[in-house]
Structure 1
Amino acid sequence: MGEYIRGVVVKLHLTPEQEVMFKKNYGCTRKTHNELLNKYKAKYGDDSTKIPTKTELNQFLNESKEELPYLRQTESTSLQQARDDLHKAFTNSAKSKRHHPPKFHSRKKTRPSFRQTIRQDKKPVENNTVTLRKHGEIEFSTSVENLDLLNSPETKFNNLTVYYDGLKHYAVFNIETNPPEQLSLTEEHIGCDINSNKNGWLVTSDGQKEFFDVDHDNQMIKHINRLMSRCRKGSRRWKKLQKRLQKWYNKRTNQLDDYIEKLTYQIVKKYDTIVFEENYSTIKILIGGEQNMVFPLSRFIKRLKDKFQLYKPKADGVQFVKSKNTSRTCHHCGHINKELDVKTRNWKCPNCNKILDRDVNAAINILNRWFNGGSLKNT
C-alpha cells in the first residue's frame, strides 16, 4: 500500500438521539477552542506573538474540563483535536503572514464540526455503517466506488471529521490507500487567458471558452432573501425559508466544487503544460454578472498543480509568464496595437490585417511566451 492520503466524504443518517449528541459535540468542540484561546490571551495578552506549547494548551484543556464539567461528557479525542488545531494555527501564523492569528469561533460564522482519531488496529467501517466513539453505529450513503474503497482491507484510516452544512450531517474519512494510476504524457501544451465570465472566464489557445453559470441559483437566493425580509425572524415561515435558502447555498457550492474537480482532471489528462499570466490571483471573475460569488482562481490553480503532481509528475505542469501586452500583440506578426481598448473583443491587426479574437489571441501569446523561454515559475 502506498502513502497516498485522500479524503472520502459520506452522508450520515442519524437517529434523533444521535443528532442531539452530535450537536452537543459540535458545541463542546467550539467551546474548547474558545476557552483555550481565552486562557492563552489571559496569560500572555491579546497582542502576544508567543507560540504556546502543546503542554500549555493541554494544561488549559484540563483546567477547562474542571471549570466546565459538561466537557467531560463529550467524546474526548474531538476536544484534543481542537487543541491540536489551535496549536497548528499559532504555528502557521508565526511562519507566514498569509495565515492570520487564531480567532474565536462564533456560532454564526463557524461551521459546526468535530474530528475523532481512529485506532490503527481498528477498522471503523463495516459495509455502509461507521462506528464512532460515544455515538455508536451510524449508517451512511456514498458512491459504490467509495464504499468499496472504505471496505477494502488495504485502506488505512487516520481520522474522521464530522460536519454539518445546515441541513445534513457528513463525515470525511482521512485514509491512506494506493495512489491512482498515472496518466501518460501527451506532449500537448495550452495557454490560458482569464476574463470575466461573460466572455468565457477561461479562454484557451485552442479557441475553447469555459463558462460557469449559476445565475439561476443566485436569483433564487436573492428571491428567498426578499421573502425572509418580509417575515418575522424566528417564525415558522422564516425557519422554513431559512432551510430553503441553505439548500440553494449548498447546491451552488457543490456545483462549483464538482465543476473545478472535473475541469482540472480533464485539462491534466489532455495536456502536459498549462500556461497562465502571472497576475491570475488579482483578477476577480464575476459569476453571472453578480458580485456575490467570485470564482476561486487560487483554488482552481492549486487543484491543477495537485493533479499534475499526482497524475503526471514528469510533466511541466502549471507555468506562468508575464502579462504585459498579451492582448494587444498580434500573435501572427507580432505587431503591438497600443490603441486597443478593454471593451473591444475583436480587432483587426493594422499591420497584417488579420482579424483576432482578443481573448484567444492573448491565450496564444501566453503559450508562445512560454515556448520562447519566458517561464516565471516551475511546478
Structure 2
Amino acid sequence: MKVNTFKTVSIKRDNCGDFWLCIVCAKPASEIIPRKGNAIGYDFGLKTFLTGSDGSRIESPRFFEQNAAALRFAQRALSRKQKGGANRRRTKLEVTRKHRYVKNCRRDWFFKLAADISDQYSDVCIEDLDIKAMQQRWGRKVSDYAFSESVGILRHRLNKTGGQLHEVDQYFPSSKTCSRCGHVVKELALDIRQWECPACGTMLDRDENAAMNILVEGMKYA
C-alpha cells in the first residue's frame, strides 16, 4: 500500500500571533482520469459575480463590504492609540485578525463554489481578464470579488477531478457579439444591460450573451 513520506515539520507564527504546525510530505502520484461531461461558460461582471451560459447567476457575498463597518471602527481605534504602546499592539492585532476573518470567509466560499461547479461540469470556460487594470478603474469592489483567487481555486479543483478550465482571450468581444448570428457591434456602453442585435433582431442580455460566446470560444480547442 502506498503511504505518504514526511519531509519536514515546522512551526510558524503568523501576523495575528497564532502558531501553526506545518507538515510537508511527499504524496504518491495518483492517476487522474480526464472526464467528459457538461460544459459551461461564465462571464465575470461587477453587477453579478458570475453569469452562466445556462442563465444561472451567482452573486458574491462581498465579504469585505459586509465587514467594512467593523474594519473601519477597528482602524479608527488603532489610529487613536499611542505609537509603541501595548494598547496599540493589541489593537493592531485585532485589525489584522478582522482582515484575516474576511479573507478566510471569502476563501471558504470560493472552495465551496468550485466544488459545486466542478461536480456539475467537466469543462468551464472563462475570460482571462486584466484584473489589475479593472482594480485601477473600479477599485475596492473588484478587490472584494477577488476573481483571480477564485479562478485559481476553480482550476485546482477541476484538475483534481479530471475537468478542465478554458480561458478565453480578454480581447475577445464576448459582450459585443450576438450569440445567435455572430454579428459584432462596434460599440456597446457598459451601462447597457440588454441590447437588440441589428442583424437578426434578437434581444440579448449582456452578461448571459457574453457567457454563451465565452463557452463557444473556449470549447473550440478543448
- Compute the TM-score of the two structures, normalised by the length of structure 1: 0.50
- Indicate the percent of aligned positions where both proteins have the same amino acid: 24
Distance in 1 between residues matched to 2:121 and 2:190, nearest whole Å:
30
The offset of 1:320, in angstroms, is 2.5
The offset of 1:251, in angstroms, is 0.3
- Residue 318 of structure 1 is matched in structure 2 by 165
- Residue 209 of structure 2 is matched in structure 1 by 361
Whether 2:158 is the aligned partner of 1:308: answer yes
- Residue 113 of structure 2 is matched in structure 1 by 263
Tell me if the contact between 2:135 and 2:142 (Cα under 8 Å) persists in the aligned partners: no
Whether 2:56 is the aligned partner of 1:208: answer yes
What SS class does the counterpart of residue 166 from structure 2 fall into? strand
- Residue 70 of structure 2 is matched in structure 1 by 220
Whether 2:87 is the aligned partner of 1:240: answer no
Whether 2:80 is the aligned partner of 1:230: answer yes
1:231 to 1:291, Cα distance in 2 relative to 1, 3 A:
farther
Tell me if the contact between 1:260 and 1:300 (Cα under 8 Å) persists in the aligned partners: yes
Q: Select 1:343's aligned residue among 167, 177, 191.
A: 191
Distance in 1 between residues matched to 2:131 and 2:93, nearest whole Å:
34
Tell me if the contact between 1:167 and 1:246 (Cα under 8 Å) persists in the aligned partners: no
Moved more, 167-176 or 235-244: 235-244
Bigger Rg, which one: 1
Distance in 2 between residues matched to 1:280 and 1:259, nearest whole Å:
23
Q: Select 1:332's aligned residue among 180, 183, 202.
A: 180
Per-residue deviation, residues 339-375 of structure 1 (Å, max 9, x unmatched): 421121222333444332211110101112234x3x4
Tell me if the contact between 1:189 and 1:274 (Cα under 8 Å) persists in the aligned partners: yes
- Residue 276 of structure 1 is matched in structure 2 by 126
- Residue 5 of structure 2 is matched in structure 1 by 156
What SS class does the counterpart of residue 310 from structure 1 fall into? helix
Per-residue deviation, residues 247-287 of structure 1 (Å, max 9, x unmatched): 2011012112212222222222211111122445556469x
Distance in 2 between residues matched to 1:212 and 1:231, nearest whole Å:
32
- Compute the TM-score of the two structures, normalised by the length of structure 2: 0.80
Distance in 1 between residues matched to 2:130 and 2:142, nearest whole Å:
20
The offset of 1:295, in angstroms, is 4.5
Aligned residues: 217
What SS class does the counterpart of residue 172 from structure 2 fall into? coil
What SS class does the counterpart of residue 37 from structure 2 fall into? coil
RMSD between aligned alpha carbons?
3.1
Amino acid at match of 2:20: Y
Per-residue deviation, residues 189-227 of structure 1 (Å, max 9, x unmatched): 01122222xx12222212223314111223322221122
Amino acid at match of 2:73: H
- Residue 41 of structure 1 is matched in structure 2 by none
1:290 to 1:278, Cα distance in 2 relative to 1, 3 A:
closer
1:279 to 1:213, Cα distance in 2 relative to 1, 3 A:
closer
1:320 to 1:292, Cα distance in 2 relative to 1, 3 A:
closer
**Which structure is higher in RCO with an 8 Å CA cutoff and minimum separation 6?**
2
